[in-house]
């Protein structure tokens, strides 16, 4: 019996130690129970480097020497992305061959999870560069001081409309539109061309969208309606949608593959992406000649994705080179067929399927990132009351 009481005490001690370690480790980096490491931690970030002024890279090509920081040797950079980030094999090897910098990737769930976990691990980040924060989460990342500013020379090739941060803390990488799609052959009436057509009785019971709380395209569509009808009008619009037989699903795949014609459902109008019609052609089975679905341009909301150098990185100079590489035409041209979005670099060539079947709105709706972040919760709560209440 004695042995077992001793064991019980040891167990309690272990549990207690864990809690103490947690309490100490949680505050700042003076954790008393640091196991193992010598402290070459990067948590005391930015003691040498200026954070206020953006660093200028005076080079015309991406592989010209970088001025301004000490040589970092040939480090291995970690690139944090969301799960669905894909590039062709060998692409990063080109970068490594040019610069001797290795790139390792870490995937962290979807875009929302990526941002949340980056903010959580700010003091001891898992990566050097992040790819995948989008304009709806941008303000959150900026408010949390996640990034080191860097103005890449290649930004000259990027449309200024995409450069949402005047302080260059993030660099635009790609963009797409979230738009309402319709299945051409299944529409009950004329092809819808405006948002108002969705509340037209001829389209009753045809529209399905996603819950903005749990779905990124669903949220983008909500933002599109707010941008279109303003703070005073969007709630009435949604009431009208509900009266017209609106359906709502928790996520994109339930909407597209569950309710929409594409998946065997019976609704002909769905909130999806501008890149969905090209995808319907590329991945058609059996092959088709023309896109079976179309895009309602009036409903499009621009989504821009960014990359940024995380503030805790040990290799700011190398990270800058990685950003330059990802903004280069070579990398940008790889993006469309792998991730189904459009490249930010205007000089990048689009694949033929995108040229032929792809559509982009000329005038998509946008909202300021700061406005989105400030009102997000409020808007979602009010939406929930109107649509689900």
Which of positions 155-194 make contact with other proteins (CB under 8 A)?
A: none
**Terminal C-alpha separation, the chain:** 60
The count of residues in the chain is 389
CB of 235 to other proteins, least distance (A): 18
Closest by alpha carbon to 125, among 153, 148, 102?
148
**Looking only at residues 358 through 387 of this chain, which bind other proteins when binding is defined by CB under 8 A?**
376-377, 380
> Of residues 48, 283, 289, 363, which one binds other proteins by CB under 8 A?
283
Q: At what angle do helices 369-388 and 216-243 cross, to 10 degrees?
A: 40
Q: Which residues pair with 103 in a beta bridge?
A: 77
**Looking only at residues 125 through 154 of this chain, which bind other proteins when binding is defined by CB under 8 A?**
126, 140
Question: Quick count: other Cβ atoms within 10 Å of Cβ 23?
Answer: 11
Token representation of residue 261:
């014609």
75 binds other proteins (CB under 8 A): no
Angle 307-311-317 from CA coordinates, rounded to 5°? 75
268 binds other proteins (CB under 8 A): no
Nearer to other proteins, 154 or 291 (CB): 291
> Of residues 60, 264, 352, 362, which one binds other proteins by CB under 8 A?
264
> Of residues 262, 300, 307, 344, which one binds other proteins by CB under 8 A?
262
42 binds other proteins (CB under 8 A): no
**Looking only at residues 76 through 135 of this chain, which bind other proteins when binding is defined by CB under 8 A?**
78, 80-81, 83-87, 89, 104-109, 112-113, 115-117, 119-121, 124, 126
Distance CA 237, CA 121 (A): 40
- List, in sequence order, the alpha helices (H) in 136-215: 138-143
348 binds other proteins (CB under 8 A): no
Q: Which residues pair with 148 in a beta bridge?
A: 309
> Of residues 100, 191, 284, 374, which one binds other proteins by CB under 8 A?
284
245 binds other proteins (CB under 8 A): yes
């Amino acid at each position: 019996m004695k042995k077992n009481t001793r064991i019980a005490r040891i167990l309690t001690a272990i549990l207690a130690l864990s809690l103490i370690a947690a309490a100490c480790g949680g505050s700042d980096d003076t954790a008393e129970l640091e196991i193992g490491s010598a402290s070459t931690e990067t948590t005391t970030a930015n003691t040498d480097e200026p954070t206020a002024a953006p660093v200028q890279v005076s080079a015309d090509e991406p592989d010209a020497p970088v001025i301004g920081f000490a040589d970092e040797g040939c480090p291995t950079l970690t690139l944090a992305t969301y799960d669905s980030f894909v590039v062709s094999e060998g692409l990063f090897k080109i970068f490594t061959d040019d610069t001797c910098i290795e790139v390792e990737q870490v995937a962290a769930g979807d875009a929302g999870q990526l941002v949340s976990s980056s903010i959580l691990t700010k003091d001891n980040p898992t990566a050097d560069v992040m790819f995948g924060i989008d304009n709806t989460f941008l303000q959150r990342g900026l408010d949390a001081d996640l990034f080191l500013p860097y103005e890449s020379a290649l930004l000259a090739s990027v449309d200024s409309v995409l450069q949402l941060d005047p302080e260059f803390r993030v660099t635009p990488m790609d963009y797409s539109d979230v738009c309402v799609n319709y299945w051409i052959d299944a529409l009950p009436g004329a092809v819808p061309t405006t948002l108002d057509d969705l509340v037209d009785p001829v389209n009753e019971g045809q529209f399905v969208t996603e819950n903005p709380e749990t779905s990124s395209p669903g949220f983008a569509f909500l933002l599109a309606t707010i941008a279109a009808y303003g703070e005073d009008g969007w709630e009435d619009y949604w009431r009208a949608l509900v009266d017209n037989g609106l359906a709502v699903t928790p996520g994109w795949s339930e909407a597209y593959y569950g309710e929409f014609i594409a998946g065997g459902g019976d609704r002909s109008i769905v909130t999806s992406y501008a890149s969905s019609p090209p995808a319907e052609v590329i991945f058609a089975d059996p092959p088709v000649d023309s896109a079976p679905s179309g895009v309602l341009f009036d409903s499009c909301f621009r989504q821009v994705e960014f990359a940024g150098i995380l503030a805790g990185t040990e290799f700011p100079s190398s990270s800058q080179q990685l950003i330059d590489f990802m903004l280069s035409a070579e990398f940008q041209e790889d993006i469309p067929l792998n991730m189904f979005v459009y490249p930010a670099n205007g000089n990048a060539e689009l694949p033929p399927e995108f040229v032929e079947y792809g559509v982009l709105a000329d005038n998509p709706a946008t909202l300021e990132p700061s406005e989105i972040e400030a009102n997000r919760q409020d808007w979602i709560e009010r939406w929930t009351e109107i649509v689900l209440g």
